[in-house]
Structure 1
Amino acid sequence: MSGEENPSLPVLRQQLSVARTEIHNLRQQLRALGSNQQREIEKIKSLLTKWQCTTCQHQQQQQQQQPDESHENLDIQENIPLRPIGLISTWFPEKKGTPRQPGICATGRGKLTLFNTVFTNPEHALEGLEEFSHMWILFYFHKNDAGHVRAKVSPPRLNGIRMGVFGTRSPHRPSPIGLSLVRIERVEGASIYFSGVDMVDGTPVFDIKPYIPQYDSPMHCESPNISSDSLSTLRLMEGRDADDIPGTSGQGVANSPAGAAASPLSLVESIERLRCDERIGEREAPDGEEGNHPVMNISAAPPDDEARPPLSLVRVPAWIAQPPLTKLSVTFSDRAKAQLESITNGMDSAESILNAIKSVLREDPRSVYLRERWGNQFYTFLICNMHVSCKFDDVAHCVTVFQVRSAAKLCDCGQLEWQCSTHSEGCA
């Protein structure tokens, strides 16, 4: 026995290895529990610190205020006042399947309704907005459930490559605020109907602002063509009255029949004058201080290149213009088309909903985790009170929609049809 190895030694070594692994895992769990406990302690301490009477809080703010401070003493870490002004109703009741950008599903409709608690007459706050074609919406990502803010994220468009959070448009941000440019369809009372939705149903809105290309688009000053029909709107958005436009006789071009009130030459001269002012860096003088600005003749030579600032260039990362993932081709089975026609009978046109579903799936709404872990699997999402079932083919870069159900239809068992797993075959 002295020269032979004990047969129980391999088993003991294996058990020892397992024990060491378990001890290592337990230590990691203890560290994680300790970190969670420390965060909870810090949270409780913060709450206890804030739990003070108004007088004590005011005294503490005065003590912290520097003598040379001219601004209001505001705790920028905690007490920035924000209040929602309204809620958005969309086709998308959950994050799953919601377009990631407003331009992906241009036919997706939404409705923003202002609260009557912010304004006594909220419809008054919307007067004039109908004159604009687009607006910015600043909203809150209320469906975000991640408690830890990460400096780097993995955008689905980059297929797993990590990028700094501020170099992306990820919703998982230190301050979960969203910004979307949408098209205004109409304004009715205290509600705005718009298209180009990329928000979840029930999203709180902080603010809305009209889109003005002269200020919001760096490419606007480089646009070679400005239609005469939009010149009146162009001047009004710049703060100029219709009477300032030569040859309009106080009538906006858009309101004139075929722009007959303005001569083509005066319109071109007005556009060139505006472009010239932009090139030399001048802004319109305040009211009452306008001078006699010479009108630039279209045949005159442009200002010297030395007097012009270089044209601003709009730059985006290469992965925005040329992402590593290609767009998918979307097809509908005959069954899905028939179901869609049946459900949309008397509602929105089936073609509009079909195009909206295609727009969502063409950009692959799956996360990187789902795409890598459960590739070529079934995928479902809700849109416009419909439950869409489809299957991705990552090899062929396509997705097939094979079933469209009404999201409100009940099964024989009393559950929603699309949620019923027991009678799914019968419900299908």
Structure 2
Amino acid sequence: MSHQCNTCQEKLLKLNQQVSVMRKEMKNLRQMLDSATRAHRKQLTSLQSVLTNIDRSELCKAQTPNITSASPVSALEQGVIQTAPIGYIRSCFSAKNGTPRQPTICGQARAELRIQNSVFNNPEHALVGLEQYSHVWVIFMFHKNGHLSAKAKVKPPRLNGQKVGVYSTRSPHRPNALGLTLAKLERIAGDTVYLSDIDMIDGTPVLDIKPYIPDWIREPPVSSLDVRFTAHAEKQLSEFVPSGCNDQDGPKFQFLRSTKEATAAIKAVLSADPRSVYRRERCTDKLFYFTLDAADVTCWFGQGFAEVLQIRPLHIQLK
């Protein structure tokens, strides 16, 4: 009798062990199924975004003039360009994980950018003068996005799941996968720029770099000019109607809100002397024209001053 009981207990123990194994396998299967379901939903969402972008692209192609056979200048005027990196970042960050989400977080984060010979025959010449600045703007491509789709709303990591518009964030997933960052300029050696405080990973394609000029307004390279208006120009300007005012006749500004604001804007433009070096040196006896909002401004420059001669609506052509 005891032998039979022992046999039954052994069988029961084996059955319990088998049931335990089956439960674990079922749990693993459920987890795998849940994971596959989530991945499938994610792929469907990504596919929907891609299809939406394709539809938008086809719509844009239908609405946009054919530029495939157009000249580079014509394509540029329509906002379509072909880009080529000026160089690639060599960074202390080899992958996205751990890379700062924005610059100036990690001062010890260093990188190098070597300007390629395919851009300039003497790339070091393009860097002359850049050493005068403490920081540079770097325009680059998010080359590790993994897909080309972009959503109008995203969830930035620092907002804990809150959705906001993509243009209010630095999300890499954008209609045009371009990034802009501010980096500290450590030094320049030949054709190579040494940076720190960076937030770019190794291999990042760089499209352009520009100096960061925080004191541009306070320390202009050209002395400010005194700006004068002739009585005729002042009278013409007074005939313009501010934006948002629909109960008056006359040429109407689209952006400027008053004659006073228009006067200040014209003075700001001319006091900084918008002429090129060639015009300043070779065309001192010629009139200067520029447009501001709905106004066509004519002026001339003297020694240390600019005088506005006339201000006419854009739809009236000069004779």
TM-score, normalised on structure 1?
0.39
Residues 402-427 of structure 1 show CA distances to partners (whole Å, capped at 9, x for unaligned) of xxxxxxxxxxxxxxxxxxxxxxxxxx
Provide the C-alpha distance between the structure 2 equivalents of 1:96 and 1:38, rounded to a whole number of angstroms.
25
The answer to whether residue 173 in structure 2 is matched with residue 186 in structure 1 is no
The answer to whether residue 272 in structure 2 is matched with residue 284 in structure 1 is yes
Q: Which residue of 2 aligns with 1:146?
A: 147
Provide the C-alpha distance between the structure 2 equivalents of 1:144 and 1:119, rounded to a whole number of angstroms.
29
8 Å CA contact retained: 1:61, 1:73: no
8 Å CA contact retained: 2:50, 2:148: no
Q: Secondary structure at the match of 2:185?
A: strand
| Shift in Å, 1:72 | 1.8
Equivalent residue letter for 1:90: S
Q: Which residue of 2 aligns with 1:208?
A: 209
Q: Which residue of 2 aligns with 1:131?
A: 132
Provide the C-alpha distance between the structure 2 equivalents of 1:152 and 1:110, rounded to a whole number of angstroms.
31
Equivalent residue letter for 1:72: S
Equivalent residue letter for 2:268: G
Equivalent residue letter for 2:103: P
Equivalent residue letter for 1:176: A
8 Å CA contact retained: 2:75, 2:81: no
Provide the C-alpha distance between the structure 2 equivalents of 1:38 and 1:162, rounded to a whole number of angstroms.
17
| Shift in Å, 1:174 | 1.0
Residues 37-78 of structure 1 show CA distances to partners (whole Å, capped at 9, x for unaligned) of 9978x97xx99xx9xxxxxxxxx948999xxxxx8256958x
Q: Which runs of 4+ in 1 moved over 6 A?
A: 37-40, 62-65
Residues 344-401 of structure 1 show CA distances to partners (whole Å, capped at 9, x for unaligned) of xxxxxxxxxxxxxxxxxxxxxxxxxxxxxxxxxxxxxxxxxxxxxxxxxxxxxxxxxx
8 Å CA contact retained: 2:49, 2:151: no
The residue correspondences of 1:51-66 to structure 2 (distance < 5 A) are: 61=66
Number of residue-to-residue matches in the alignment: 194
| Shift in Å, 1:95 | 0.3
Q: Which residue of 2 aligns with 1:345?
A: none
Residues 271-312 of structure 1 show CA distances to partners (whole Å, capped at 9, x for unaligned) of xxxxxx99x73633343645447xxxxxxxxxxxxxxxxxxx
Equivalent residue letter for 2:212: Y
Q: Secondary structure at the match of 1:72?
A: helix
| Shift in Å, 1:81 | 1.2
Residues 78-134 of structure 1 show CA distances to partners (whole Å, capped at 9, x for unaligned) of x52111000111110000000011111122111111111111111111111111111
The residue correspondences of 1:17-416 to structure 2 (distance < 5 A) are: 61=66, 72=74, 79-215=80-216, 235=219, 238-240=220-222, 281=268, 283-285=271-273, 286=275, 287=280, 289=301, 291-292=303-304
8 Å CA contact retained: 1:93, 1:201: yes
Equivalent residue letter for 2:272: E
Larger radius of gyration: 2
Provide the C-alpha distance between the structure 1 equivalents of 2:164 and 2:84, rounded to a whole number of angstroms.
31
Provide the C-alpha distance between the structure 2 equivalents of 1:62 and 1:136, rounded to a whole number of angstroms.
31
Provide the C-alpha distance between the structure 1 equivalents of 2:112 and 2:147, rounded to a whole number of angstroms.
27
Provide the C-alpha distance between the structure 2 equivalents of 1:100 and 1:111, rounded to a whole number of angstroms.
19
Go from structure 1 to structure 2 and tell me whether the alpha carbon gap of 1:291 and 1:38 turns closer, same or farther (over 3 Å shift). closer
Provide the C-alpha distance between the structure 1 equivalents of 2:195 and 2:76, rounded to a whole number of angstroms.
36
Q: Secondary structure at the match of 1:213?
A: coil
Equivalent residue letter for 2:190: G
TM-score, normalised on structure 2?
0.51
8 Å CA contact retained: 2:110, 2:198: yes
Equivalent residue letter for 1:148: S
Please identify, of 92-101 and 280-289, the stretch whose mean Cα deviation from structure 2 is larger. 280-289
What runs of 5+ residues in structure 2 fail to find an aligned partner? 1-35, 225-263, 285-300, 306-319
Across the aligned residues of Structure 1 and Structure 2, the Cα RMSD in angstroms comes to: 4.3
Equivalent residue letter for 1:239: P
Provide the C-alpha distance between the structure 1 equivalents of 2:49 and 2:120, rounded to a whole number of angstroms.
43
| Shift in Å, 1:153 | 0.5
8 Å CA contact retained: 1:130, 1:186: yes
Residues 307-362 of structure 1 show CA distances to partners (whole Å, capped at 9, x for unaligned) of xxxxxxxxxxxxxxxxxxxxxxxxxxxxxxxxxxxxxxxxxxxxxxxxxxxxxxxx
| Shift in Å, 1:146 | 3.1
Q: Secondary structure at the match of 1:281?
A: helix
| Shift in Å, 1:195 | 1.0
Identity of aligned residues (%): 43
Go from structure 1 to structure 2 and tell me whether the alpha carbon gap of 1:240 and 1:88 turns closer, same or farther (over 3 Å shift). same
